[in-house]
Amino acid sequence: MFAPLDNEVVFKRAFTNKLVFERFVEDLFDVKISVSKIETEKRFYNKVSKIDITLDIYAETDDHRFVIEIQKIQYDHNFERFLYYFMNLMIEQQESYKNYKFEKTVLGIIVLTRPYRFHKLTGEPILDNYFVLDFNPRNIKGELIKLNKHEIKFINTSKKYKKDNQLPDKIQDWIDLFQKSIYNNQSLTLNFNNKAIKKVTELINDENIDTATLTKIRQAEGSKEVLILEHKAGIEEGIEKGIEKGIEKEKKRSKKIIEKAEQEKQKAELTSTIVTLKFLQNKSNEEIAQILNIEMEYIIKILE
């Protein structure tokens, strides 16, 4: 039985392993790396804004060419936050106004384990389980002009998103791993030819986890359930407010309809009275205006 990789403790246990970390990055970015130190809860004190950042998993390659962050996200983040974290890793490298060159390439991996909360500018939901954000310009033809290698890769492991046949197998293998552990999907066959994936299954196998770590996993699961319940409560509250707003709107609409109907009724009754006085009782327009206390112009308009 696998412990779920959407659990914070399990995720960090697996992806702070040197073999797993290096191969995960290699499969996503097609770069060979070597890291000696992998940190969790890495904190950066911002040089520009007042908001510091904390990264789930962070490492710098031994050759100092790459700075890498891996973040696992559930509900409480949005696209701007990913971008903010990533840009901070770039700003960290700037120590002099005389040289703006980035000595290290920044690579980011965002693993989402729940459906997206952010949408396209059009308001349409994002349906892709994998996409890339780079920092290179494009010419008028839309052709990419490669100036740097900074990139963020987004992987959504939620079962809501269908398998994309255009997705490289080596990336789909990692999505399968997440889904097998999170949803206990027995139909998924994992690629054990990938030694890193095989290593993850060993690390997250219940039988290989010590009692102290299992306790932390259970505590993290409790926190996750609270987060899920809060998220559901937020949705329900939003629905309830939406219903209340809709009811209130409908009340106002109904009130206007009733008021208009009442006005039409009064107008019809007044017209009937004017016609009766004019043609059945042979009253003049002046007499009708005096009897009903209304303007002469209104009487003439009704009788036209």
pLDDT tens digits, one per residue of 43-68? 877 666 667 778 889 999 998 888 88
Q: Strand 130-134: give its sheet, edge to edge.
A: 38-44, 53-60, 66-73, 105-112, 151-156, 130-134
Please state, in angstroms and as integers, the Cα–Cα distance from residue 85 to each residue in 40, 60, 132, 279, following that order.
15, 16, 16, 84
Lowest mean pLDDT among 104-108, 116-120, 196-200: 116-120
Taking the whole predicted model, whether its pTM rises above 0.85 is answered as no
Contact 69, 109 (CB under 8 A): yes
The mean of the pLDDT values for the chain is: 82
The answer to whether position 232 is within a domain reads no
Q: How many domains is the chain partitioned into structurally? A: 1
The answer, yes or no, to whether residue 100 has pLDDT greater than 60, is yes
The answer to whether position 238 is within a domain reads no
Instruction: Identify the burial level of 158 via C-beta atoms within 10 angstroms of its C-beta, where 0-12 means exposed, 13-18 middle and 19 or more buried.
Output: middle
Looking from the CA of 173 toward its CB, the CA atoms found within 13 Å total: 18
The answer to whether position 190 is within a domain reads yes
The answer to whether position 79 is within a domain reads yes
* pLDDT on residue 15: 95
The answer to whether position 231 is within a domain reads no
- Expressed as residue numbers, the domain containing 103 is 8-209
